[in-house]
Structure 1
């Protein structure tokens, strides 16, 4: 009797029973894992010369995972961060398999031992206040689309929200009464409250007056009333940045994305002397180390710190080690 292939059932149980029901993972995590497994299974099927439906658990060896990660980084042009996200999705599945199929534990351990690749940590690209002002001046606020874009970009800068956090915003999450604030749902379903400038609250209120939305409907929508996508926002922002470069030429050398406004918020809060623990709560960081990264990024803060340090006084006499002629002569012979 031929034993049925357990892999499809394990995959179904992983997504529906473990990831959704037991872990209560967000829709973004589920979609990320789904995309990883789509790519991985196609990669394995092509290398094995078989259809995806015929793949077994034994086909998913550690060597195949390593080959897929190399393919994802070098041939598909993904970043090291993307490569590590793919590995996390695959590891998660095999951690689950180890609890369901003890006979596959050796294979699961081999895959779990594939190391995460370290990537160089670069300074975050943030915007100066003048650059933010130049970008915010670009949308044509006489049109509904321009009003929406101006309100969205202003909200990103005010709240430091991630782009998806902003796009998920509903009117019921906003308090328009003074003092204004907004409730955001971030990574790991963590909720946080961010203050709103009166100007930002007015922009959001006017947008709702011109384009009414139900309390539980998303605020930022396209011309068809459908929620905006992150890729759509990036496309619009690129056009505004190109136009703003005529006012702020430094924008030509920067790769500006919606996340750049989050970086700008953090750096400008640091410049204003706000405590990093407050900034961590403001941005929804889990670790204070993440917030401290912005404290290192601000050149103006470094310059102010340097100005508080006295310049060392110089004397006319050379250092003591330079006064020893015999020592210098000996060093010259080396």
Structure 2
């Protein structure tokens, strides 16, 4: 009888690899958080768009062999020079590509040599700049007054919570009504990177404002976003950045040090956290009645 030769399955196509990377590897095997998966997705969207512009190929027609060190380096330069991304952001995008290439190396042995060359593209070294911070006067000017409109009161609570908790934007926009404890030891439960959870104490002034906000929005349920947009959905990162920028512009009319200054949500995080405040800062907080 003739010897039967075992059939060898052809390697997965590039679109199938990308789909398996996200659905099977990131979600099912590694069980990464939706925020982390979204970060990988954004990196791939940028990279595939750049590859299409430079190679003239749609993602559906690409091959692993198209991803060369030259293309990767050109993409990274594009991020820095044209999109004005920081070196840190550049390295995060590269880390996402590396994770995919390592995954792909287990599914397409014919591309091992190309993948090995791609993985040799190094991370870029950089010096950490001194963190920018806001003074108490600047922060209070940015928070401003609650105002009379629904939007102004929401923004006042948003900025106050950022100041009180030192939370990341991703943590703030995902706060639900049920995450806020107002009785007894008032606190807010935050869900951060890597599914880490923590409870942050709330100042008396913040508790008072949350109560007023909930009275203004009696239809909010426990699963409702505490800080919704006009459609009742959770705010996005862009929403928060835009509202903060408008608040800074308004505050700069009375605080000259804010004129022309870019204040990001992360800048507020550099203010000393409540639990590690110096006695001098705690005294300042006490003056606020919190």
Task: Tell me if both proteins adopt one fold, taking TM over 0.5 as the criterion.
Answer: yes
Q: In 2, distance between residues paired with 1:119 and 1:255?
A: 21
The answer (yes or no) to whether the contact 1:94–1:108 under 8 Å persists in 2 is: yes
- TM-score, with length taken from structure 2: 0.86
> 1:8/1:243 Cα in 2 relative to 1: closer, same or farther (>3 Å)?
closer
Matched, 1:236 2:243: yes
Partner of 1:249: 256
Partner of 2:78: 71
Partner of 2:116: 109
Partner of 2:173: 167
The C-alpha deviation readout for 1:62-96, integer Å capped at 9, x for no partner, is 22212211222223332212211110110010111
The answer (yes or no) to whether the contact 1:148–1:220 under 8 Å persists in 2 is: yes
Partner of 1:322: none
The C-alpha deviation readout for 1:138-195, integer Å capped at 9, x for no partner, is 441x222222111111111111111121111011111111221111000111001111
Partner of 2:222: 215
Report 1 or 2 for greater relative contact order, CA contacts < 8 Å, sequence distance ≥ 6: 2
Matched, 1:129 2:136: yes
Matched, 1:44 2:63: no
> 1:155/1:50 Cα in 2 relative to 1: closer, same or farther (>3 Å)?
closer
> 1:36/1:181 Cα in 2 relative to 1: closer, same or farther (>3 Å)?
same
Give 1 or 2 for the bigger CA radius of gyration: 1
Structure 2 unaligned blocks of 5 or more:
1-9, 282-290
Matched length: 272
- Runs of 4 or more off by more than 6 Å in structure 1? none
> 1:270/1:197 Cα in 2 relative to 1: closer, same or farther (>3 Å)?
closer
Q: In 1, distance between residues paired with 2:96 and 2:141?
A: 40
RMSD over equivalenced CA pairs, Å: 2.3
Q: In 2, distance between residues paired with 1:124 and 1:61?
A: 36
> 1:260/1:51 Cα in 2 relative to 1: closer, same or farther (>3 Å)?
closer
Distance apart, 1:250 and its partner CA: 1.4
The C-alpha deviation readout for 1:13-55, integer Å capped at 9, x for no partner, is 1010001111112222222222222222233333333333211
The answer (yes or no) to whether the contact 1:36–1:86 under 8 Å persists in 2 is: yes
> 1:18/1:148 Cα in 2 relative to 1: closer, same or farther (>3 Å)?
same
The answer (yes or no) to whether the contact 1:84–1:117 under 8 Å persists in 2 is: yes
Partner of 1:155: 161
> 1:138/1:239 Cα in 2 relative to 1: closer, same or farther (>3 Å)?
farther
